[in-house]
Structure 1
Amino acid sequence: MEAYWRRTAMWYGGVGLLAARVVRNLALPPAYTRLVVREMELMGVRSLGVAMIAAVFTGMVFALQSAANMARFGAEAYVGPVTALAILRELGPVLTAILVGGKVASGITAELGSMKVTEQIDALRALGVNYVKRLIVPRLLAALLVFPLITALADLIGLLGGAAIMFFERRADPWTYWNVTTYWVLPRDFLMGIAKSVVFGVLVTLIGCYNGLETEGGTEGLGRATTATVVHVTMAVIVSDFFLTKLLLALFW
């Protein structure tokens, strides 16, 4: 048990130290703009399908369940704002971070872990290349741009999915539905989810990079590191979501 807690403390400390090194290297040249664009394509464009499919069905099932249950209390007119608030504040950013983040982080771990076990990172050091600036900073910058954009798209698709259920399944009046929804849903509800997505993007990238850089044991160790990354990302998103929600509610509500 003591060994487990020691490894856990070392892992958290390692991620924190890596974050500090990334911050120190952010403003250093070169900019590696081409690498940032490449990572944006890998993280964003290739993850859109997964995020959008999850978003539309999440919005549909949430609206379906909400309508069925709120009809018991004569409150079916408020399904729109309830669905919108749930998607904008929680479901959109959290599900996007878990699905896209797991895919992105495991890919980062696999790539960096492969470089680690084949000693390519040691070769970069020998050549005098700042591997943190070259390998990690572009991924972090790409995540800071991609995660909010994907979350915003997922929010939109989720809202449309929920609206489709209300219009075609529950026969709700479209004008009334959107009027009630826009009355109760405020811009800060959307911004709350976007703020969360920025933090989630940072966590996903740091976890993926750290686990990749710490990979040992050849291909077997690479497999373990990739699997651990998916678990770490999922737990990090869920746990940090609670504290971010508490913080944002305390600051703005």
Structure 2
Amino acid sequence: MTIQVQQRAANGLREFGRMCAMGLDIILAMFRRPYQVREFVQQFWFIASVSIAPAILVSIPFGAVISLQLGSLTSQIGAQQFNGAASVLAVVQQASPIVTTLIIAGAGGSAICADLGARSIREEIDAMEVLGVSAIQRLVVPRVQAAVLASVLLNGLVSVVGVLGGYFFNVIIQGGTPGAYLASFNALAQLPDLVVSSVKAVIFGYLAGVVASYRGLNPKGGPKGVGDVVNQSVVITFLLLFFVNTVLTALYLQLVPAKGT
């Protein structure tokens, strides 16, 4: 039993190392010609088209839940004047990039993994390599770039919708004051809050694209293996997402002083 656990751990570390190596190869390939502009545009449009509606629909309840929970808490401790800042910062810094990447990984990333997996089991990837065409540069790079750009743009959209949803529920449902909501936001929010949200979106989108591409290029067991790697790519992306988000949040809170301190 112990030997099996050790073997699984070693295999997991080996796979993680290969995925990291592929991530570095993707970054290097982004700066090499020829650039796959048409493929990039097609992939971006596809990811955006399948992600924009779910992202908007999910961001509304996210903003509402955060606003209602914080509104109830601030009312209990007599700090209603800070409800706007707390709600907006929670949406912009945490909820928005996470929601965006979850949608992209679940909708766009799974499609990328399935597409590359189908190409792999049909031996199209091997044929490209035999012909001297880099599958990383031709297929993976435009998909990863599309995931990153879609993540950044959707992150901004989700932030706006989430903030508006929080404002609506706080002012209309809980009877908050619009002026106090906006004043507390202006008093505590700062530009680095938006910057760190965008940085998270870039990193998370990149991770979603790399994981989906890596698993798609390494299926095992035919069509059933493609289905397995699609599920694995989504789960792995979620795990990496929350781990990296914790690290980035801790670094941000340590390095960037809060406004007014």
TM-score normalized by the length of structure 2: 0.93
TM-superposed deviation, 1:45: 2.7
**What number of residue pairs does the alignment pair up?**
253
Look up the SS of the partner of 2:175 in the other structure.
coil
2:229 matches 1:215: no
Question: Matches of 2:80 and 2:250 in 1, distance apart?
Answer: 28
2:175 matches 1:160: no
TM-superposed deviation, 1:207: 0.3
Question: Matches of 2:220 and 2:108 in 1, distance apart?
Answer: 20
Return closer, same or farther for 1:68/1:247 CA change in 2, 3 Å cut-off. closer
Question: Matches of 1:187 and 1:195 in 2, distance apart?
Answer: 13
2:175 matches 1:171: yes
TM-superposed deviation, 1:192: 1.0
Whether the aligned pair in 2 keeps the contact of 1:105 and 1:233 (CA below 8 Å) is: no
Question: Matches of 1:85 and 1:226 in 2, distance apart?
Answer: 33
Whether the aligned pair in 1 keeps the contact of 2:83 and 2:184 (CA below 8 Å) is: no
Aligned pair partner of 1:197 in 187, 198, 201? 201
Question: Matches of 1:51 and 1:122 in 2, distance apart?
Answer: 36
1:247 maps to 251
Whether the aligned pair in 2 keeps the contact of 1:215 and 1:222 (CA below 8 Å) is: yes
2:42 maps to 38
Question: Matches of 1:244 and 1:14 in 2, distance apart?
Answer: 23
Q: Deviations over 1:16-69 (max 9, x none)?
A: 111122122222211111111111111223200111111111001111111122
Q: Deviations over 1:82-124 (max 9, x none)?
A: 1011111111111221222222221111110010011111121
Aligned pair partner of 1:188 in 189, 192, 216? 192
Matched AA of 2:222 = G
Question: Matches of 1:24 and 1:188 in 2, distance apart?
Answer: 28
Whether the aligned pair in 2 keeps the contact of 1:113 and 1:212 (CA below 8 Å) is: yes
TM-superposed deviation, 1:249: 2.7
TM-superposed deviation, 1:151: 0.6
Matched AA of 1:20 = L
1:231 maps to 235
Q: Deviations over 1:169-226 (max 9, x none)?
A: 1222222321221221111111111111111011111100000111111011111111
Matched AA of 1:22 = I
Aligned pair partner of 1:15 in 19, 28, 43? 19
Whether the aligned pair in 1 keeps the contact of 2:104 and 2:147 (CA below 8 Å) is: no
Look up the SS of the partner of 1:28 in the other structure.
coil
Aligned pair partner of 1:3 in 7, 12, 21? 7
- After TM superposition, the structure 1 stretch with the greater mean CA deviation from structure 2, 154-163 or 25-34, is 25-34
CA RMSD of aligned residues (A): 1.3
Q: State the identity as a percent.
A: 26
In structure 1, stretches of 5+ residues that fail to align are none
In structure 2, stretches of 5+ residues that fail to align are none
- Structure 1 stretches of 4+ with a deviation exceeding 4 A read none
Aligned pair partner of 1:56 in 47, 56, 60? 60
2:80 maps to 76
1:107 maps to 111
Whether the aligned pair in 2 keeps the contact of 1:50 and 1:100 (CA below 8 Å) is: no
Q: 1:105-144 counterparts in 2 under 5 A?
A: 105-144=109-148
